[in-house]
């Protein structure tokens, strides 16, 4: 046999290239995943969130209170989502995650300030994600020194030199020490379950198709919905086994608090797992082999981990990225698990995050059943 031949190598190249082009799904993933990474990392990811929703509670009618509220918005880090006199309403918004900050201006604030008594502003922060509020808290120091420059004139100009004429007291709620593990470890519950539930389910069906056992299953009188439920339930059991390991490590090694109901947490995790298993079942009806199933899993997992608020602050992303993130089950599950573990949220408070996951499950289930019937034909 003669030595190396570029002609034979070219023939093999042409053959492999034609084979690659026939596998359109794999080729699309090979091109689409890098583009997706460029778009997400280039446009959607931001570590300096601004425009954070803020509730301002004030019973003081003086001009200085209004100057402080205006100065907060001028920093760019605060966006007034609620302004009123009800502290209980603002507290509810903070517990539910609708606002990141609650600022309470005490009664007679302007009067006490004019007298030189240095009144205190209470700033309560949702610190479940320390990285989301760190820069905004730092910006409060500029508010204390600059907010009243236009008000402290004339007889009040003596209040400008020296320390700020009022005090800012910051209370970090739900994570007083600002420990990142309180944010990361609960989030790992969702990311691990997302990856394993979608991947294992999609591989399970494609494995049967590759091994030829799918024909035996199709020959039985089992209905498509029965196949779907039967395929999903074993992985639900496996998911709870994984969960037991993660939760044991969270409580024993990382000392993550458990403020809410453990039974409620288990129920919410069950709904989240079934939603992801529905995605995996859908992928299994589209993919022709296990490689394609793995590629589709990664294509789903990448935006889930980047747009859900697990790695980067959710409110730091542009609006279009937040809309995409709201579609993903992991986004809502992270709010649920952190709300139960760190805030002690109840089922009523978590309902706004539960129904988007159920809608996602319903859509994924309908698509999976429709695709499975086409496979039967």
Question: Which whole number is the average pLDDT over 304-320?
Answer: 89
Q: Name the residue among 97, 266, 249 with its Cα closest to residue 184.
A: 249
Confidence of residue 358 (pLDDT cuts 50, 70, 90): very high
3-state helix, strand, coil in the chain (%, to 5): 65, 10, 25
Say if CB 319 and CB 168 are below 8 A apart: no
> What is the Cα–Cα distance from 118 to 5, expressed in whole angstroms?
87
Q: Name the residue among 260, 236, 285 with its Cα closest to residue 186.
A: 260
Sign of CA dihedral 121, 126, 130, 136: negative
For 163-220, write each residue's pLDDT tens digit.
Answer: 667 788 899 999 888 888 898 989 999 999 998 889 888 887 788 777 776 666 666 7
What phi and psi, each to the nearest 5 degrees, are found at residue 196?
-75, -40
Confidence of residue 233 (pLDDT cuts 50, 70, 90): confident
Helix (H, G, I), strand (E, B) or coil at 105: strand
What structural domains does the chain harbor? 52-173 (3.40.1710.10), 181-376 (no CATH)
> What is the Cα–Cα distance from 45 to 115, expressed in whole angstroms?
46
> What is the Cα–Cα distance from 30 to 23, expressed in whole angstroms?
11
Confidence of residue 376 (pLDDT cuts 50, 70, 90): very low
Angle at 137 between CA 90 and CA 40, to 5 degrees: 95
Helix axes 24-39, 6-22, angle to 10 degrees: 80
* Cα dihedral: 55, 60, 64, 70 (round 10): 20
Q: What is the DSSP letter of 106?
A: P
For 30-67, write each residue's pLDDT tens digit.
Answer: 777 778 778 777 777 787 888 899 999 988 777 777 77
Q: What is the DSSP letter of 154?
A: G
Angle at 319 between CA 316 and CA 323, to 5 degrees: 110
For 249-290, write each residue's pLDDT tens digit.
Answer: 888 888 889 899 999 999 999 999 989 988 888 888 888 788
Q: Is the pLDDT of residue 362 over 70?
A: yes
Q: What is the pLDDT of residue 215?
A: 65
């Amino acid at each position: 046999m003669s030595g190396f031949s570029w002609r034979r190598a070219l023939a093999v190249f042409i053959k492999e290239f034609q084979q690659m082009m026939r596998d359109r799904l794999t080729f699309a993933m090979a091109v689409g995943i890098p583009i997706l990474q460029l778009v997400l990392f280039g446009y959607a990811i931001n570590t300096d969130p601004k425009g954070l929703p803020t509730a301002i509670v004030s019973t003081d009618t003086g001009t200085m209170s209004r100057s402080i509220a205006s100065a907060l918005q001028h920093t760019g880090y605060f966006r007034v989502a609620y302004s009123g006199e009800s502290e209980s309403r603002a507290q509810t918004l903070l517990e539910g995650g609708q606002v990141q900050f609650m600022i309470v201006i005490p009664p007679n604030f302007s009067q006490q300030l004019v007298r030189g008594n240095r009144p205190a502003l209470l700033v309560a922060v949702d610190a479940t994600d320390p990285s989301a509020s760190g820069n905004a808290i730092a910006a409060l120091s500029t508010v204390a020194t600059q907010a009243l420059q236009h008000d402290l004139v004339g007889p009040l100009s003596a209040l400008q030199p020296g320390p700020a004429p009022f005090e800012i007291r910051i209370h970090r709620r739900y994570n007083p020490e600002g420990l990142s593990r309180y944010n990361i470890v609960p989030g790992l519950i969702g990311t691990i379950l997302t990856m394993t539930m979608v991947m294992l389910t999609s591989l399970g069906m494609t494995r049967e198709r590759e091994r030829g056992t799918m024909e035996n299953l199709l020959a039985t009188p089992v209905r498509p919905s029965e196949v779907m439920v039967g395929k999903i339930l074993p992985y639900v059991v496996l998911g709870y086994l994984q969960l037991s390991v993660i939760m044991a490590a969270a409580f024993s090694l990382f000392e993550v608090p458990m403020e809410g109901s453990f039974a409620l947490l288990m129920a919410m995790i069950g709904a989240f797992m079934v939603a992801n298993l529905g995605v995996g079942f859908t992928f299994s009806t589209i993919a022709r082999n296990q490689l394609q199933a793995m590629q589709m899993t990664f294509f789903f997992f990448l935006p889930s981990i980047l747009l859900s608020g697990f790695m980067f602050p959710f409110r730091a992303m542009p609006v279009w990225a937040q809309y995409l993130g709201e579609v993903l089950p992991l986004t809502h599950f992270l709010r649920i698990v952190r709300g139960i573990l760190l805030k002690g949220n109840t089922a009523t408070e978590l309902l706004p995050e539960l129904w988007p996951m159920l809608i996602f499950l319903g859509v994924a289930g309908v698509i999976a059943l429709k695709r499975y019937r086409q496979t039967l034909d």
